[in-house]
Amino acid sequence: MGFFKQIFTWWEGATLTTGWHVRRNGRQVGSDDQGNLYFAARKGGRRWVLYNGPNDASRIPPEWYSWLHHQIEGLPDESLPPPPKFLKEAVPNLTGTPQAYRPSGSLERGGHRAAASGDYEAWTPDGA
């Protein structure tokens, strides 16, 4: 099933033809901590990423995002200053996962929200 899945599905990584096209028409210029591979076209200005795992743009670190979108010309290691010490690691989009943010009152946390304060008065059309 793995071979057919790689041919027909694009959401869990590059399909065979996409991977072949990128490797044939581009050259690998780098990778990030998550194992994503970055390619630049041999001719022209196209740039690609081949994800290591699910295709999710939030898994691209900010420095590589800026390179992919031509915000910087050179590679991130060469063109950007070192990150400040207080900077946190980039976190992928967690929506739809068990780690997603669920505020109090949301249905996933029981659906009970705090009572409204005493200064709230609901609008009714008859009271206008």
pLDDT digits (tens, 9 = 90+) for 102-115: 888 888 887 777 77
Query: How many angstroms separate the CA atoms of 32 and 49, rounded?
Result: 10
Query: How many angstroms separate the CA atoms of 41 and 22, rounded?
Result: 8
Residue 97 in domain:
no
Q: Would you say residue 93 has pLDDT above 60?
A: yes
Residue 92 in domain:
no
Residue 49 in domain:
yes
Tell me the pLDDT band of 66, cut-offs 50, 70 and 90: very high
Residue 117 in domain:
no
Tally of structural domains, the chain: 1
Tell me the pLDDT band of 87, cut-offs 50, 70 and 90: confident
Q: Residue 76: which of 63, 90, 87 has the closest Cα?
A: 63
Q: Would you say residue 1 has pLDDT above 60?
A: no
Residue 100 in domain:
no
C-alpha distance across the termini of the chain, in Å: 65
Query: How many angstroms separate the CA atoms of 15 and 9, rounded?
Result: 6
Neighbours of 51 (CB within 10 A): 18
Tell me the pLDDT band of 70, cut-offs 50, 70 and 90: very high
Residue 36 in domain:
yes
Residue 55 in domain:
yes
Residue 57's contacts (CB-CB under 8 Å, 6 or more residues apart) are 65
54 and 46 Cβ atoms separated by less than 8 Å: no
| Enclosing domain of residue 65 | 1-83
Query: How many angstroms separate the CA atoms of 31 and 37, rounded?
Result: 5
Q: Give the pLDDT score at 127.
A: 62
Residue 54 in domain:
yes
> pTM here?
0.65
Cβ neighbourhood burial of 60 (10 Å; 0-12, 13-18, 19+): buried
